[in-house]
């Protein structure tokens, strides 16, 4: 390998345009068994997973016995706070943690080896650990766990915790802190991390006494996955990790009794359900808006039953992707700022919006004053604070999406498709128009390089739409949402609320471990990739089979798009140099291939699929392709920009 000292690096993509393959690493790791994270039936772990899933779906305590506190591996060694941490994590059905050691968390690392069933993934940066735990949680529908030390280890977790908070992902973030006696003394690597995570977690704890740890962990898991899910942060002083304790893990009833202020309402109020049913009866142009809450509640079947009974088309938010199979006749499309024109058009002309588990984010509504001007709104959400926050609604229903839909469906009359034929036919026509006009899928764009929507579509097709697809942020995220074609819940993972660049690779790492039965693809731009590419080494060390589709336009594409359209072409800082990604991949030992023309795309995707372990495909995509339509910030859903001077329509 040559190191260029000083000066500019050589342009990475000169020379041959043909596919280049770096596959020594693949050969090296071939044949190594993957570790499955699906528990074997009948084991204590399987029972713990079942318990966790039941609680996530609010189905009440499991009849299966709580996993006993494991006295075994310690041998003669006394039980300390750090043991409680491991016991508690295992009891909750989690078998993998993403972690990075440091001074004050070392007592935990000192005993981690005694818990071989708790797999530890040593990430390369705590942010990667938090995103990986997030990806694990989103792909499994269970709680993800990440661990860091005090000070910088803790602050590095913050972006990942905030990402989970904005997208309601159940996450437990554990940090060590300095010994109790040093708290508040500005000790080495001391920072008030509890104060920092307070506004970005569902709840947080500072534990100074090991005897509190069983209760705190049981509460934290219960809070993270009950009601509207979210991240919980547990900060533990070093002395509490080292302290001997005999404190027992509480049972479910004790946990609930200890949280008098935490009682999420699951069932919609009967009067409100009746009001909602009446709205559905009266509506001529109803649209369902399905959000992340449908996936959290696993209410896909109930959503379908409701939509089919009343013949109502279903639109979805970014995080609502997968709530309905996109091939279903009533599946209408992705809404919002870069959503489909026909979907936004349907919303703007609707007379009733049935919003289920979504929160009228500004990327969904645009200017609220002009949003869905003819529509009355029924809003179903498990978090009462979401109702009436961004838009005023006619019928608020606080409850879990599954239970509300179960109750609502029998209350509405059956409406055959023919009764809505005029409306549904018009929508179908709008859909045909907008799909035809939004597509640049010939394969290559006007600069001869790949068009991104084509690449995304091919990834979807060559994986039979059965993979887990993890987006980064920006144009790649929108292309994925629009063109991959989704069939199943929890197969699309995207940082929707916080919009965290650098999310895709580490989140895909967690998703691949959480759902090993699926192929996992990270769709990432060259900007986001360069933010967390250090996790390539984690993928190799732990042989986590993530396939990375690197969309390299040598730009911060969404920044460039905004600058072109909103900032009069002032492209400050939009151009982004990158390394030779094949050499980078080779250095890490990741099998890699490059594709620059449509003819190379399929072979490159198949190459990655054929690698047993992580692989990277470097797609050289068009430099100036935009995502259209686009709703400029502050404008309304009727103000979509569909093309721009200089781009073929």
Partner 1 sequence: MTAQAGSGPAHTAPPARSLPGSGETRLHRLVALVVDKPGVLNRVASLMRARNFNIDSLAVSRTDQAGLSRMTISLHGDDVAVEQAAKQLYRLIDVVKVQDVTNEPTVEHELALVKVRATDSNRAEILKVVELSRGRVVDLGPESVIVEISGPEADVETFVGLVRTYGIKELVRTGAVVMARGSGSIEEARKK
Give the catalytic positions in this structure: 126, 188-189, 238, 558
Q: Which stretch binds partner 1 (CB under 8 A): 59-67, 133-141, 341-349, 499-507?
A: 341-349
Q: Does residue 641 bind partner 1 (CB under 8 A)?
A: yes
Of residues 322 and 366, the one with the C-beta less far from partner 1: 366
Q: Does 195 engage in binding with partner 1 (CB under 8 A)? A: yes
Q: Which C-beta is closer to partner 1: that of 200 or that of 556?
A: 200
Residue 223 found at the interface with partner 1 (CB under 8 A): yes
- Hunting for tokens 């929890």 — which residue is that? 490
- Among 236, 319, 323, 640, the residue binding partner 1 under the rule CB under 8 A is 640
Is 259 near partner 1 (CB under 8 A)? yes
Q: Which is nearer to partner 1, 94 or 287 (CB)?
A: 287
Helix 81-91 and helix 44-56: axis angle, to 10°?
A: 70
CB atoms near residue 294 (< 10 Å):
30
Give the CB-side neighbour count of residue 316, counting CA atoms within 13 A.
Answer: 29
Q: Is 547 helix (H, G, I), strand (E, B) or coil?
A: strand
Task: Tell me the CA distances in angstroms from 291 to 32, 284, 308, one per residue in order.
Answer: 39, 22, 18
644 binds partner 1 (CB under 8 A): yes
Q: Can you give the C-alpha Rg of the chain in angstroms?
A: 25
In degrees, to the nearest 5, what angle opens at C-alpha 499 toward C-alphas 385 and 638? 75
Q: How far is the CB of 285 from partner 1 (least distance, A)?
A: 7
The correct pick among 203, 298, 446, 583 for binding partner 1 (CB under 8 A) is: 203
Q: Does 345 bind partner 1 (CB under 8 A)?
A: yes
Kindly state whether residue 349 participates in binding partner 1, applying the rule CB under 8 A: yes
Q: Give the footprint of partner 1 on residues 376-435 (CB under 8 A).
A: 383-385, 387-392
- Pull the structure tokens for residue 401: 């999406």
The whole-angstrom separation of Cα 250 and Cα 495 is: 34
Question: Which bin fits 388, alpha (ψ -120 to 50), beta or left (φ > 0)?
Answer: left
Q: Which is nearer to partner 1, 157 or 223 (CB)?
A: 223
Contacts of residue 260, Cβ cutoff 8 Å, sequence gap at least 6: none
Q: What is the 3-state secondary structure (H, E, C) of 498-534?
A: CCCCCCHHHHHHHHHHHCCCCCEEEEEEHHHHHHHHH
Between 120 and 359, name the residue whose CB sits nearer to partner 1: 359
Instruction: Please tell me whether residue 547 binds partner 1 under the rule CB under 8 A.
Output: no
Of 33, 261, 436, 517, the one binding partner 1 (CB under 8 A) is: 261
Nearer to partner 1, 264 or 485 (CB): 264
Q: Which of residues 362-381 bind partner 1 (CB under 8 A)?
A: 368-374
What is the footprint of partner 1 within residues 22-51 (CB under 8 A)? Answer: none
Interaction of residue 341 with partner 1, rule CB under 8 A: yes
Cβ contact 329:312 at 8 Å: no
**Least gap, CB of 426 to partner 1 (angstroms):** 10
> Which lies closer to partner 1 via its Cβ, residue 289 or residue 513?
289
Both tokens assigned to 572 = 């400050």
First CA to last CA distance, the chain? 44
Strands (DSSP E) along 201-330, which ranges? 203-207, 231-237, 286-290, 314-316
In angstroms, give the least distance from the CB of 638 to partner 1.
Answer: 5
Window contacting partner 1 (CB under 8 A); options: 461-469, 471-479, 499-507, 632-640: 632-640
Asked if 180 touches partner 1 (CB under 8 A), the answer is no
Please say which residue, 387 or 456, places its beta carbon nearer to partner 1: 387
Among 284, 413, 419, 577, binds partner 1 (CB under 8 A): 284
Mark 496-523 as b/e (b = at least 16 C-beta within 10 Å). Answer: bbbbbbbbbbbbbbbbbbbbbebbbbbb
CB 389 to partner 1: min, Å: 6
For residue 187, the minimal CB distance to partner 1 (Å) is 20
The two three-digit tokens of residue 366, written as one number: 């645009």
Size of the site for partner 1 (CB under 8 A): 44
Say whether the peptide bond before residue 433 is cis (omega within 30 degrees of 0). no
| Backbone φ and ψ of 524, nearest 5° | -145, 140
Smallest distance, partner 1 to C-beta of residue 374, A: 4
Q: Name which position in 351, 361, 362, 435 contacts partner 1 (CB under 8 A).
A: 351
Q: Does 189 bind partner 1 (CB under 8 A)?
A: no
Separation between Cα atoms, residue 133 and residue 127, nearest integer Å: 10
Q: 146 vs 350, which CB is nearer to partner 1? A: 350
Q: How far apart, in whole angstroms, are the C-alpha atoms of residue 648 and residue 244?
A: 70
Q: Per CB under 8 A, does 110 bind partner 1?
A: no
Q: How far is the CB of 199 from partner 1 (least distance, A)?
A: 5
Name the site residues for partner 1 (rule: CB under 8 A).
194-195, 198-199, 202-203, 223, 259-262, 284-285, 341, 344-345, 347-349, 351, 368-374, 383-385, 387-392, 637-644
């Amino acid at each position: 390998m040559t190191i260029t000292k000083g000066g500019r690096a050589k342009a990475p993509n000169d020379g041959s345009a043909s596919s280049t393959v770096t596959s020594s690493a693949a050969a090296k790791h071939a044949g190594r068994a993957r570790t499955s994270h699906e528990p074997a039936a009948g084991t204590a772990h399987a029972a713990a997973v079942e318990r966790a899933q039941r609680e996530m779906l609010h189905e009440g305590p499991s009849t299966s016995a709580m996993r006993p506190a494991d006295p075994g591996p310690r041998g003669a060694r006394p039980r300390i706070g750090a043991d409680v941490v491991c016991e508690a994590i295992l009891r909750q059905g989690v078998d993998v943690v993403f972690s990075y050691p440091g001074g004050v968390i070392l007592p935990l690392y000192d005993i981690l080896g005694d818990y071989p069933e708790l797999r530890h993934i040593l990430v390369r940066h705590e942010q990667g650990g938090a995103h990986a735990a997030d990806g694990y949680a989103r792909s499994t529908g269970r709680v993800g766990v990440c661990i860091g030390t005090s000070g910088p280890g803790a602050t590095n977790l913050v972006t990942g915790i905030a990402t989970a908070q904005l997208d309601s992902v159940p996450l437990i973030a554990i940090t060590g802190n300095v010994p109790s006696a040093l708290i508040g003394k500005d000790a080495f690597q001391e920072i008030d991390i509890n104060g920092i995570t307070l506004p970005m977690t569902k709840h947080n704890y500072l534990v100074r006494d090991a005897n509190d740890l069983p209760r705190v962990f049981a509460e934290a898991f219960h809070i993270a996955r009950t009601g509207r899910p979210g991240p919980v942060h547990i900060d533990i002083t070093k002395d509490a990790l080292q302290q001997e304790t005999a404190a027992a893990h509480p049972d479910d009833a004790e946990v609930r009794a200890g949280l008098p202020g935490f009682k999420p309402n699951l069932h919609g109020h009967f009067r409100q359900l009746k009001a909602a049913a009446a709205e559905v009866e009266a509506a001529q142009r109803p649209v369902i808006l399905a959000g992340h809450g449908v996936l959290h509640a696993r209410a896909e079947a109930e959503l379908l039953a409701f939509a089919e009974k009343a013949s109502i088309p279903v639109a979805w938010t970014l995080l609502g992707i997968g709530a309905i199979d996109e091939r279903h006749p009533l599946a209408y499309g992705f809404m919002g700022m870069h959503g489909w024109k026909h979907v936004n058009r349907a919303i703007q002309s609707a007379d009733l919006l049935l919003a289920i588990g979504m929160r009228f984010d500004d990327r969904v509504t645009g200017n609220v004053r002009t949003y869905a001007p003819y529509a009355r709104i029924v809003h179903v959400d498990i978090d009462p604070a979401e109702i009436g926050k961004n838009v005023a609604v006619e019928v608020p229903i606080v409850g879990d999406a599954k239970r509300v839909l179960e109750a609502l469906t029998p209350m509405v009359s059956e409406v055959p498709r023919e009764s809505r034929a005029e409306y549904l036919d018009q929508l179908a026509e709008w859909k045909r128009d907008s799909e035809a006009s939004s597509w640049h899928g010939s394969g290559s764009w006007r600069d001869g390089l790949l068009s991104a929507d084509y690449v995304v579509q091919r990834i979807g097709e060559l994986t039979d739409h059965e993979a887990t697809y993890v987006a980064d942020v920006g144009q790649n995220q929108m292309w994925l949402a629009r063109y991959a074609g989704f069939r199943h819940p929890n197969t699309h993972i995207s940082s929707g609320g916080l919009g965290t660049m650098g999310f895709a690779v580490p989140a895909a790492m967690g998703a691949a471990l959480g759902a090993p039965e699926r192929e996992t693809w990270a769709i990432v731009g060259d900007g986001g990739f360069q933010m967390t590419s250090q996790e390539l080494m984690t993928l190799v060390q732990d042989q986590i089979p993530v396939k990375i589709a690197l969309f390299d336009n040598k730009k911060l594409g969404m920044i460039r798009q905004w600058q072109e359209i909103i900032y009069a072409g002032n492209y400050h800082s939009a151009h982004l140099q990158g390394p030779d990604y094949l050499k980078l991949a080779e250095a890490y030992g990741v099998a890699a291939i490059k594709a620059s023309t449509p003819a190379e795309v399929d072979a490159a995707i198949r190459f990655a699929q054929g690698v047993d372990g992580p692989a990277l495909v470097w797609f050289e995509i068009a430099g100036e392709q935009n995502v259209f339509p686009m709703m400029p910030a502050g404008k309304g859903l009727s103000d979509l920009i569909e093309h721009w001077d200089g781009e073929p329509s």
